[in-house]
Amino acid sequence: MSENMTEDSRVLDARYHMPAFGRTMKIVRGAGSRVWDDQGREYIDCVAGIAVCSTGHCHPAVVAAICDQAGRLIHCSNLYYVPNQAELAERLVGLTGLGKAFFSNSGAEANEGAIKLARVRTGRKKFVAFTHGFHGRTCGSLAVTHKPAIREPFEPLSPACTFVEYGDLDGLAEVVDTDTAGIFVEPVQGEAGVMIPPAGFFRGIRDICDDTGALMIVDEVQTGMGRTGKWLATQYTGVTPDIVTLAKGLASGFPIGALIAREGLEFTRSEHGSTFAGGPLACAAALATIDVIEEVLPTIPVKGERFLKGLARHNPRGCGLMIGMSVGDRCPEVQQACARDGVLVNCAADGNLRLIPPLVITDEEIDTAVDVVNAALG
Ligand SMILES: *Cc1c(COP(=O)(O)O)cnc(C)c1O
């Protein structure tokens, strides 16, 4: 029976769904840091929906918030004041120290909003971003995403974007000019495989932005909402960006994105909009998520260290609960071996194994995951 389910899904997917994703297993249930596939096999989930399920799977407080709101009002449109939306904006402004928020439904859309905001408020056209950076798959966000294999088939894209080596401040200073609307940067590059920039990089970007009038746009879609041990990874640098974008960990898996900009930098009436963005359910899920993250936030650096210590012989890189290791061509094999032994991990770009578990992962689960990954790496 259960095997037939997998078979059915595979057959239906092959017949009716575009083959844009490579996948093998079907996950049918989750609780905390564990998921189960349709064969009843249990896994410790160090993928967490790609850094999305921050509070773990089906956290009771998040489930209750969604169910409660679903029984009152699911959608009403941004033509009206939306339940939970202003409350969430207030929370995010408080956590980030910025001025005002604007919601979207995904990370890419949050970055689209940032592109529009930077263009309309600076009156400038061009952007600068970094090698191996990832900002999304929509046309605008793809234009500032580096990886040629995913970007070039869709060119010409807008906005025009120049790419500079991640970490290279001299190179950045050379290309930013008075027609640069903004610089897109991740504090730790996630899709690239958890790449941590040199110290002083963010301070240097801030200075270049201050000198030229370009906006500093920090993409915290993956690093934000406690993932690295602070609400924003940028908060480790002492730098205040002009715009921050969020999405992945913000609502425990309910789709939402946000851009938050410094005071005075905002859309005026009719400049931007979205039918679904910042809806009552998404904002309820986000508010409940923030309450849970607030409780576990102080534990995240310690948990991250536990991973790094356990995996030390494989030279892991990490910041909080974002851990990456260069393992090369055998990354897919290692991923499969881990899955066979009950731990889900994922291969980011260029043979980099990535672990981005729920922020509520326990020490025991970390130790088991570390043993399994070590065994798979040999
Ligand atoms: C995942 C990701 C995005 C894109 O988010 P989507 O919700 O998939 O559109 C953008 N930036 C970064 C840093 C990401 O990790």
Tens of pLDDT along 233-286?
999 999 999 999 999 999 999 999 999 999 999 999 999 999 999 999 999 999
78/72 Cα distance (integer angstroms): 17
Average per-residue pLDDT in the chain? 97
Q: Give the DSSP H or E segment for 373.
A: helix 363-377
Mutate to test the pocket of ligand 1, among 144, 150, 189, 222 (most ligand atoms within 8 A of CB): 222
CB 231 within 8 A of CB 258: no
Nearest CA to ligand 1 atom 5: 107
Residues for the chain: how many in total? 378
CATH number of the domain at 241, please: 3.40.640.10
Structure confidence at residue 148 (pLDDT): 96
pLDDT digits (tens, 9 = 90+) for 314-344: 999 999 999 999 999 999 999 999 999 999 9
Structure confidence at residue 4 (pLDDT): 56
Alpha carbon 26 to chain centroid, angstroms: 22
145 is a domain residue: yes
Q: Which amino acid, one-letter code, is at 118?
A: A
Residue 6 has pLDDT above 90, yes or no: no
pTM (predicted TM-score): 0.97
First and final C-alpha spacing in the chain: 36
291 is a domain residue: yes
Mutate to test the pocket of ligand 1, among 221, 232, 256, 276 (most ligand atoms within 8 A of CB): 221
Q: Residue 167 sits in which domain range? A: 63-295
Residue 1 has pLDDT above 80, yes or no: no
Nearest CA to ligand 1 atom 6: 107
277/300 Cα distance (integer angstroms): 29
Domain count, the chain: 1
Q: Give the DSSP H or E segment for 219.
A: strand 215-219
As a whole number, mean pLDDT of residues 123-147 equals 98
Phi/psi-derived region of residue 300, left when phi > 0, alpha when psi is between -120 and 50, beta in every other case: alpha
349 is a domain residue: no
254 is a domain residue: yes
pLDDT tier at 16 (50, 70, 90 boundaries)?
A: very high
pLDDT digits (tens, 9 = 90+) for 214-228: 999 999 999 999 999
Angle, CA of 304, 241 and 243, to the nearest 5°: 100
* Tokens matching residue 73: 């009002």
Share of the chain above pLDDT 70, in %: 98
152 is a domain residue: yes
pLDDT digits (tens, 9 = 90+) for 300-310: 999 999 999 99
Q: Which amino acid, one-letter code, is at 229?
A: G
As a whole number, mean pLDDT of residues 41-55 equals 98
Q: Which has the closest alpha carbon to 144: 106, 178, 114, 104?
A: 114
CA dihedral sign of residues 227, 232, 234, 235: negative
pLDDT digits (tens, 9 = 90+) for 234-244: 999 999 999 99
165/168 Cα distance (integer angstroms): 5
14 is a domain residue: no
Nearest CA to ligand 1 atom 11: 135
CB 217 within 8 A of CB 245: yes
230 is a domain residue: yes
pLDDT digits (tens, 9 = 90+) for 286-298: 999 999 999 999 9
Nearest CA to ligand 1 atom 10: 135
Structure confidence at residue 7 (pLDDT): 75
| Ligand 1 residue neighbourhood (C-beta within 6 Å) | 106-108, 111, 134-136, 186, 190-191, 219, 221-222, 247-248
228/318 Cα distance (integer angstroms): 9
48 is a domain residue: no
Residue 66 has pLDDT above 70, yes or no: yes
